Amino acid sequence: IQFNGELYNEEIDTNGVHENDVKFILNTLESLLQDCIKNNINDEKIVEECLIKTIGKLEGEFAYAITDKISNKIYFGKDQLGKKSLAFCVKNDSAEEGCELFISSIVPSDEAQKEFFCECKNAIIYVFDLESHILNEINFDDKEDLPKSYTVKNFIAGSNDNEDFSEKELIN
């Protein structure tokens, strides 16, 4: 697990001390997996479903990358507001070298590399299969275990032509 952010879940605070966010993520994931094992749920997609539920339980602003060594997949993305930066690049060098995934907390400043990186969209879980080299997306809005994404409509930063911001439609 790689994590950049701040979680606000009440369960993380113990005796007035904020515990480790990564430890909370790992414990949540392990607990969900143990519940599935206890209930004899042994589906090939169970790790992915538990990962989705874990991400859905996280409250805060964050970016993450989680490697599942069993299914050979890397899950990465940002929370539903997407304040933390997270960029990626899938590079195909040659048939011999195969395909590589690069994940970075910032887009490289080098112009030659910059053009290959994409900033992750908020409220999307990216799933990169290390065997097939296919990159898929799971949209928060498509899964009931994930919070819905937020978009402010009709707001232009710095414009005096905006309607009263309190009247803006917040889609969730």
- Whether 145 has a pLDDT exceeding 80, the answer reads yes
Q: What are phi and psi of 43, to 5 degrees?
A: -100, 150
Confidence band for 165, pLDDT divided at 50, 70 and 90: very low
Token look-up 């097939």 returns: 132
| 67-108 residue pLDDT tens | 999 889 999 999 988 889 999 999 876 555 668 899 999 888
Query: 21-38 vs 46-57: helix axis angle to the nearest 10?
Result: 140
Which residues fall within 8 angstroms of residue 83, CB to CB, at 6 or more apart?
61
| Whether residue 158 has pLDDT greater than 70 | no
Q: Could you say which DSSP state residue 77 is in? A: E
pLDDT band at 162 (very low <50, low <70, confident <90, very high): very low
Closest CA to 53 of 44, 42, 45: 45
Query: Which 8-state DSSP code applies to residue 12?
Result: G
Q: Is 132 exposed, middle or buried (0-12, 13-18, 19+ CB in 10 A)?
A: exposed
- According to DSSP, the residues that pair with 18 across neighbouring strands are 13
Q: Is the pLDDT of residue 164 over 50?
A: no
Q: Does pLDDT of 152 surpass 80?
A: no
